[in-house]
Amino acid sequence: MNRVLPLFAFLIAASAQDPSSTPQFTAKGELVRPQNYREWVYLSSGVGMTYGTGGPSRTPVFDNVFVTPAAYRSFLQTGTWPDKTMFVLEIRSSATEGSINKGGNYQTGFQRMEAEVKDESRFPGKWGFFPFESGANTSKQLPVSASCYSCHAEHGAVDNTFVQFYPTLLDIAKRKGTLKIGAQ
């Protein structure tokens, strides 16, 4: 067993630091597109979500949110996000009245995605935002003057993230006492 246990430990460590689920940056500081985010942990979806004025659409977009598995497991324990947490927000088109469907909306083609990364040594505000156009393999960080930074900082219920819209995590944050007072 003496030879087996260290190997187990190595494999567990390797799994926790799976490069495909850890933020990877180019020499210029651009984020490498995470290819496997659809295999990360799903947090929630919205449909037709608006934050200003604007009417409803018959085929509104869906947004799906995924987070890296190691960060998810850490949140279950602590109610907050560890360094190197990475989110992907995926935007998809919708359709209605296709196949056997008679009403409501289901998801169709990929439109675009955005990543939000926590890296305390890289970003003065701890978090960085990276939009990915369709097909782009790397993304330049959005400037910190972009509205996503101030909105997440002001309204995110836990550490710059919209846990108020992730029902399974909201319960955990309530139990752990990590919800920002008045953020919702």
Closest contact distance (angstroms) between CB of 51 and a second copy is 5
Closest contact distance (angstroms) between CB of 93 and a second copy is 9
Q: Which residues of 47-66 are buried (b: 16+ CB within 10 A; e: fewer)?
A: ebeeeeeeeeeeebbbbbbb
Nearer to a second copy, 140 or 146 (CB): 146
Nearer to a second copy, 3 or 28 (CB): 3
Closest contact distance (angstroms) between CB of 168 and a second copy is 6
Nearer to a second copy, 69 or 82 (CB): 69
Closest contact distance (angstroms) between CB of 69 and a second copy is 8
Closest contact distance (angstroms) between CB of 73 and a second copy is 9
Tell me which residues touch a second copy (CB under 8 A).
Answer: 3-4, 7, 11, 38-39, 41-42, 44-56, 60, 62, 64, 66, 69, 72, 92, 98-110, 151, 155, 157, 162, 164-165, 167-168, 184
Angle at 48 between CA 137 and CA 113, to 5 degrees: 5
Minimal CA–CA distance to 34: which of 107, 92, 115, 95?
A: 115
Nearer to a second copy, 11 or 146 (CB): 11
Nearer to a second copy, 54 or 143 (CB): 54
Alpha-carbon Rg for the chain in angstroms = 18
Rounded Cα–Cα distance for residues 43 and 166 (Å):
6
Rounded Cα–Cα distance for residues 37 and 114 (Å):
11
Rounded Cα–Cα distance for residues 89 and 65 (Å):
5
